[in-house]
Structure 1
Amino acid sequence: MKQNILSCLGLLLLPLAAQAIEPGPSSPQQQETEAWLLLQSRGQAASPIRQTAAASERDLSLQRWLESYKHPIPPFYKEYSGGQRK
């Protein structure tokens, strides 16, 4: 009984002994990627010029989106059809 209690206590204390592993040196490509992601998340690399779509461009994109619903979804795709229409 005493052995069971001690083993359970040891298992409960085990996470306290774990320590985080410090990351090692990363490659220059990794550092560059992390720098760009940091700029993106902070919004520091955003363009000062607001990019908007004209009303005609919005209408055309909405029309394309609506027309995409006119094509039925096939029950399955043939393996070698290559995206050809029938």
Structure 2
Amino acid sequence: MKPHMLNCLGLLLLPLAAQAIEPGPSSPQQHHTEVWLQMQARNQLASNHAQPASPGERELSLQRWMESFKHPIPEYYKEYSTGGKGK
């Protein structure tokens, strides 16, 4: 009974020990990354020049896409081991 009461008391006091994490970047690198992501999301860095694909690039892209349909989708996926026992 006593361990059960101590566990309950510990769980009740747990929120009092939690501390809030300060908002914002934790490093200069994270700050730069967040700035770039915000500029991209706001479309501030979009190119003024259209960048269409060449006919050759479009043909290769279409060819890769069409070849992706040659492989059947298995009914079940096997889980493969990365090593260890049972090789």
Match of 1:16 in 2: none
- Tell me by how many angstroms 1:40 deviates: 0.6
TM-score by length of 2: 0.51
- AA aligned opposite 1:76: Y
* Length, aligned pairs only: 61
Give me the whole-angstrom Cα distance separating, in 2, the residues matched to 1:33 and 1:63: 35
* Normalised TM-score (structure 1): 0.51
Considering only aligned residues, what root-mean-square deviation do their CA atoms show, in Å? 2.9
* Amino acid paired to 2:52: T
Other-structure match for 2:67: 67
> Where does structure 1 lack aligned partners over 5 or more consecutive residues?
1-20, 81-86
**Distance in 1 separating the partners of 2:67 and 2:30:** 42
Identical residues among aligned pairs (%): 60
Matched, 1:42 2:42: yes
Deviating above 4 A after TM superposition, structure 1's stretches of 4 or more consecutive aligned residues are none
Structure with larger Rg: 1
Cα displacement (A) at 1:38: 1.5
Amino acid at match of 1:79: Y
